[in-house]
Structure formats: structure tokens, C-alpha cells
């Protein structure tokens, strides 16, 4: 059964737009869990433009299910991860000025540094996933540096859904999933997945977890967060 992790970054983005305390992403996490979500994802960025240190510390305290901490492979974020002890750290790239994560991590370019980072996290009992580009050499490199899982970058599929390119982009995901399975890597997926395109993802038999954020909070404006979570769970389960 594919697990659903709710990325609560967008709740924090809305809060930060006014500089107040609402909506509280920690409260959003509790609502999502009560609605049946299997876990919570949050990305603490260097510029702190949405999620704050306070958020990840409180989420770790109040969420008894899985907490997936998205982070760059910097010493600052490693120290925070070791302090809060999430269940999983997902290593992602960050570019100054980007609106959202633009691609998977270039593992090949960071191959000298990543083994030490990953070992440090794993020695602390934290599972490590890498937000992965969809090419064979990157996925093989994720295995080489010691990752437990990869998270497939699904934005190209999400954008192609319902167009003539959908089958091609979905085929890329399937091919990457098959390689991950062959290498013994666990498999997550995320970015631009929603209640329309999620159903097809179920055919990837080794997919363990999907992380969904922007689309679920967009949907929640119209039907409520509780119902938006349940809608996705109905598709997955």
C-alpha cells in the first residue's frame, strides 16, 4: 500500500505572506494526520521563506507518525536534522530565487560529499532518501553514496498529464522505478502530483510513498484540508 505524506510548506507560505501566526503549519499537520495521512513532509530552506525552525521542532513533537524532513546537504541542516531526529531526511537541491524545487539533486556532482552526509544521518537512525533526477547514472549514484531510497521527481509527468506527452513521461518514471528496485533502493515520488494524475502512479508496484503539498492545499481552499486528504487516500487505498 502506498503511503501518503502531506507536505505542509504551503500553509507556512501563506502564514509568512502576512508575517503573523496563521495558518499554523503545525495545526495543518495535525488536521492531515487526523484525516488519515500517513506522515508529514516539511522543507526547511536556508532563506526560511516558509517553514521555520519552530515548525519542524513542534512537528517532531506532535506528529507521532512519520516525519519526512526535506533539506539541503549543508552542515546547518545536518545539525538541525540530528537535533530533531526525523524518521526520514530527503536530500534536495536548493537554488537562490527558485519558486520551488526545480529538479532532482545532482548526485554525480556531489558524489564526494554525500557519503559522509548520508552516513552521519544514518548513524543517527535516520532513513535517507534522495530527490532524484530521472536518469540511470543519477539513480546508480544514489545507491553508491549510500541512500536508502530515492524520491522520483514527478513534475514532468504532472505537467504532461492529459497531453500527448503523458505516456512518455510516465514511462520515464516506470523505467527509473525498475532500476531503483533492481538496485535495492526504496522508492518514493513527489512534485506536482494531484487527485487527477495520482491514480496512474498506483501501477508502479514498488512505489512506497508519495509526498503531496501544493495541490492538496489548492484543493483544500474549495473542499477543506480534511476532505482533500481523504480524497487522495481514497485514490491510493
Q: Quick one: which of 42, 51, 48 has its CA closest to 12?
A: 51
Q: 3-state DSSP: the chain helix, strand, coil percent, rounded to 5?
A: 45, 15, 35
Q: Give the Cα separation of 150 and 78 in Å (integer).
A: 18
Q: Is the peptide bond before 162 cis (omega within 30 degrees of 0)?
A: no
Which residue is associated with the grid cell 541512500?
Answer: 147
| Annotated catalytic residue within 50, 70, 94, 209 | 70
CA 33 to chain CA centroid, nearest Å: 16
**DSSP structure class, residue 42:** E
Confirm whether 43 is a catalytic residue.
Answer: yes
Which helix (H) or strand (E) segment holds residue 150: the answer is: strand 149-153
Confirm whether 50 is a catalytic residue.
Answer: no
Confirm whether 191 is a catalytic residue.
Answer: yes
| Annotated catalytic residue within 50, 94, 169, 191 | 191
3-state secondary structure of 211: strand
Provide the annotated active-site residues.
Answer: 43, 70, 191
Amino acid at each position: 500500500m502506498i503511503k501518503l505524506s502531506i507536505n505542509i510548506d504551503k500553509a507556512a507560505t501563506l502564514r509568512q505572506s502576512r508575517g503573523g501566526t496563521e495558518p499554523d503549519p503545525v495545526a495543518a499537520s495535525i488536521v492531515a494526520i487526523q484525516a488519515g495521512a500517513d506522515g508529514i513532509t516539511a522543507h526547511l530552506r536556508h532563506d526560511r521563506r516558509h517553514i521555520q525552525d519552530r515548525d519542524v521542532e513542534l512537528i517532531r513533537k506532535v506528529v507521532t507518525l512519520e516525519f519526512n524532513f526535506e533539506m539541503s546537504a549543508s552542515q546547518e541542516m545536518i545539525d538541525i536534522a540530528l537535533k530533531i531526529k526525523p524518521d526520514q531526511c530527503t536530500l534536495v537541491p536548493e537554488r537562490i530565487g527558485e519558486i520551488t524545487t526545480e529538479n532532482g539533486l545532482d548526485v554525480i556532482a556531489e558524489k564526494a560529499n554525500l557519503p559522509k552526509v548520508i552516513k552521519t544521518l544514518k548513524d543517527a537512525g535516520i532513513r535517507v532518501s534522495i530527490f532524484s533526477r530521472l536518469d540511470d547514472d543519477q539513480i546508480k549514484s544514489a545507491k553508491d553514496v549510500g541512500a536508502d531510497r530515492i524520491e522520483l521527481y514527478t513534475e514532468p509527468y504532472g505537467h504532461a498529464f492529459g497531453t500527448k506527452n503523458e505516456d512518455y513521461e510516465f514511462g520515464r518514471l516506470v523505467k527509473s522505478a525498475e532500476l531503483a528496485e533492481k538496485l535495492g533502493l526504496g522508492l518514493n515520488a513527489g512534485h506536482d502530483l494531484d487527485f487527477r494524475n495520482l491514480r496512474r502512479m498506483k501501477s508502479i508496484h514498488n512505489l512506497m510513498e508519495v509526498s503531496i503539498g501544493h495541490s492538496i492545499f489548492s484543493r483544500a481552499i474549495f473542499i477543506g484540508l480534511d476532505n482533500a486528504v481523504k480524497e487522495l487516500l481514497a485514490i491510493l487505498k
